[in-house]
Every structure is written in structure tokens, then in C-alpha cells.
Amino acid sequence: MILGIDEVGRGSWAGPLVVGAVVLGGEIIDGLTDSKKLSKKQRERLDIEIRKKAKGIGLGWVDASEIDEIGLSKSLELATKRAVQQIKTTYSEIIIDGTVNFLKDTNKEQFVTTIKKADLLIPCVSAASIVAKVARDNYMATMDEKHRGYNFKKHVGYGTSAHSAAIEKHGVTKIHRMSFSPIKKLKKPAVATTKQIGDSAENVAAEYLRLLNHEIIERNWKTKYCEIDIVSQKQSVLYFCEVKYRKNSNQGDGLSAITPKKLRQMKFAAKFYVLSNKISDIDLRLVTISLCGIPPIVDKYLEI
């Protein structure tokens, strides 16, 4: 029962840092290796199999603003701790890819072994690398839709000539890491649109749910029939969260947007999600989070 840990997004110019943590518990999955050595199709296939077979999976997210605030080293520690906190199954050893013990000075420190290229050698570390990579790539694909012209879906935030050209043309966004030297050189502040601020509000809402001990399962889950801002789980309850944002508190309560029609749409989306993912024997609950201000802050949380 080994807990494998690996990160993705360390050197990216934009987007979150994500740490994956996986306990396979003896399950055999063919094809596991460093996620960078796999095609997108291979990673997505393995991600599905890992999620079905693994005894425990955790993902620790640290967004760009947190990285700018506390630095990359502390962000790696924070993301690792967040990922490990989500593992509920027992394990006897922790293996972290690389040479740095990001759980130093915690009660987990004594169980940690660091190994270079562990994502090539240790199946559970390979699995952690894959689930983190797929989750982050999917997130950056949603950012591609929200920040047109940056092509985040293709380069997922890493430094490329196309990314550099996009910054020079459009300026930086809220998901760029302002503390990174390449961004400092290219920095040309873009005017934040209401939509971009709304996207930031969803990040704040997700962090608020984590503080309430929710595990974030999905962000911006969409089909041609419906969409859900955040899907999370706490104990034996699956939560479906609608995020409502307004710039100013004098614009009224964001929860007033939850009309009877909107409530029916939320119920339909929750049922469709459960059906699509073949989920059963779990309680379902609708949640809405209202935020206001720049930067956004949570002003109301309501379970419906």
C-alpha cells in the first residue's frame, strides 16, 4: 500500500500547479509510465482505468495567484499536502517523484522516500502523474474557452513562442503567474472583463468548498444539455454547486438569480451527471455560492 505522488505545471507560465496522489493497492494497470511519455489519448484512457481501480486518489491544486503570493517551493508543499489530505485509504509508504520531500515537517515525513524518475519506475507514482496531468489539461482547456486568443488548450500554459506572442498582443490574464520572470518581461496588463472576474469567482468558490472539507470532483462540467460549475463530495454526499457573482453588493443578492426555472435546470443537471457517470447509492445535494467584489469574496453559501 504505497502512496505515489507527482506534480504537473511546475514550470508553466499560466494556470495552476497540480499534485497527484494515488494508492493503487496492488492493482495492475498496463501502460503506466511518466505522463509526458504518453499521448493525450493514452493518458485519458489510463486516467479512466486508474479512477476505477485505485484505492485512493487525491489532487492538490494551487492557482497562479497563490503561487505569486507564497512562491513555487511553498506552493509545491501546499499542493502536496492538499492532495494527501484527500487520501482516506491506509498506506504504509509514500514515494515522491524527485529529490525534495514536500511533506517535511509534517507527521507524514517519516514515511516519505524521494526517488528521481519515480514516475517511470513506480506504478502508483506514474498513476499520480497521469491523473494530475489529465486534470490540469482539462482545466486549461476550459481556460482556452474563457481566454480566447491564448491557445491554452494546446500549450496548457507553458512557455512557447505562440504563448509569448499572445501575451504581447493581448496582455496577461488572471491565470498568468506574474512572479515568473518571463511574464514580468512580457507583462502588459489586460483589462479584466466581467466574464474573467466571474471565472476568478469560481476559483474562490472552489477553494471555499475545500475549506468546508469538500473534495472537488469536477470543474465546469458541460454537455450539450446542461452544465455544472462545481461538483464536489463530502463524506457520502455529492454536491452540485452553482456559482453566482456580481461586481457590487448594491447590485442585489446573487442568490436571487436562483429562480424556480434555474432550480429545475440545476436538478436536471445533477441527475444527468449521476446518470452519465453511472453513480448510485449516494446522497445528492444542490448548493449555490454567491460572491461579490473585486477580487471576489464569498458572501453567502446555501444548501438547497
Q: Which of 128, 71, 70 is nearest to 96 (CA)?
A: 128
- Helix then strand then coil, in percent of the chain rounded to 5, is 45, 25, 30
Q: Summarize pLDDT for 128-141 with one digit per residue, the tens.
A: 999 999 999 999 99
- pTM to 2 decimal places: 0.62
Q: What is the DSSP string of 107-129?
A: TTGGGEEEETTHHHH-HHHHHHH
DSSP 189: B
The CATH code of domain 194-303 reads 3.40.1350.10
Q: What is the mean pLDDT of residues 180-201?
A: 71
Reply yes or no on whether the pLDDT at 47 is more than 80. Answer: yes
Whether the ω angle into residue 295 lies within 30 degrees of 0, i.e. cis, is yes
- How far, CA to CA in Å, does 178 sit from each of 48, 63, 159, 207? 34, 12, 13, 20
User: Taking a C-beta distance cutoff of 8 angstroms, is the pair 164, 19 a contact?
Assistant: no
The CATH code of domain 2-141 reads 3.30.420.10
Reply yes or no on whether the pLDDT at 193 is more than 70. Answer: no
Asked if the domains at 2-141 and 194-303 fall in one CATH topology, the answer is: no
Reply yes or no on whether the pLDDT at 191 is more than 70. Answer: no
Mean pLDDT of the chain: 92
Map out the domains of the chain as residue ranges.
2-141, 147-186, 194-303
